[in-house]
Every structure is written in C-alpha cells, then in structure tokens.
Amino acid sequence: LLADYAGAEPPAGGVGVSFRENLKGNTPRDWRKSIYYRYWTQEQIRPAHLGIRNDRYKLIFFYGDRLQTTGSEPTSTTPAWEFYDLQADPHENKNSYNDPQYASIIKEMKEELLKQKNLVGDTDDGDDTMKQIMEKYYW
C-alpha cells in the first residue's frame, strides 16, 4: 500500500498487494478473506508462532521452537493454541480454543492457515523439528 501511494514499485519478493481501493470502500470480490502471519523469534514471554485472522476470528499456533533462526532464546516452550472470537471478545481476553461451539470454525481456520502458509512459500521444507511439532500438535 505504501509503495502504491508513493508511486513506487513494490519490493521484489513482496507478497502483498495494494489495498488503496479497499480504503475507498471498493473491495474487489476476489479479495482474500484471511491473512496469514508468522512470528519467528522464540522467547519464553512470546513464543514463536504462526497465525491466521479473518474479519471475526483469530487463530494462533505457538509452536515454541527457535528452529534454525538467530536472535531467539535457546529454550523451547510446549506448543499451544489460542483462538479468539473478535466480535465477542475484541480485546482477546478469553482463549476459546477448547470451546466446543467453535470446533468447526477452528477446523476450517486450521485448514486455511496451512493453505495460506503454503501460498506464501512458507513450507518449512527440510526442517525435521517443525515437521515433528506439526505432526504431534497441529491436529
């Protein structure tokens, strides 16, 4: 967006697109419904994680391992999930991951998270640690 407003070309390898028209109230029909993100740094206070968010819900998977990154603490944390209904809980005060009323939504969001992760090329190929974490804690 900033490159669009500045009249510049977006940086090579960028995965985003301008949402200038969205800000004007002209959201394209094919505009994505969710956004994927990843926080690589592993710290006890804020474990490494990946997540997805849409207009109402937010799902986060704290995989809790520094993997091959630098600048992280060496200590791993136990993987965990958080889920928030941003309409009912806009300040994210209550982790509703284990609430049965959200089970089908969480399942859909987990599938969408993996889809978006792959679409941006975040595959973790060749990382046996992440593969083991995903196999044990993802589903």
User: What are the tens digits of pLDDT across the range 57-107?
Assistant: 999 999 999 998 899 999 999 999 999 999 999 999 999 999 999 999 999
- What integer is the mean pLDDT of 37-43? 95
Beta bridge partners of residue 59, listed in sequence order: 52, 83
Do 130 and 124 meet the contact criterion of CB atoms below 8 Å apart?
Answer: yes
Q: What are phi and psi of 29, to 5 degrees?
A: -60, -35
Q: Is the pLDDT of residue 6 over 70?
A: yes
Residue 42: CA count within 13 A, CB half-sphere: 17
Q: Is the pLDDT of residue 131 over 90?
A: yes
The more confident residue out of 36 and 27 is 36
Do 1 and 8 meet the contact criterion of CB atoms below 8 Å apart?
Answer: no
Q: Is the dihedral of CA 64, 68, 69, 75 positive or negative?
A: positive
- pTM (two decimals): 0.86
The alpha carbon of 93 is separated from its chain's Cα centroid by a whole number of angstroms, namely 19
Beta bridge partners of residue 53, listed in sequence order: 35, 58
Nearest residue to 51 via CA among 89, 106, 93: 106
CA distance 10 to 57: 29
Residue 21: CA count within 13 A, CB half-sphere: 7
pLDDT in the model for residue 2: 77
pLDDT band of 46, cuts 50, 70, 90: very high
Beta bridge partners of residue 37, listed in sequence order: 51
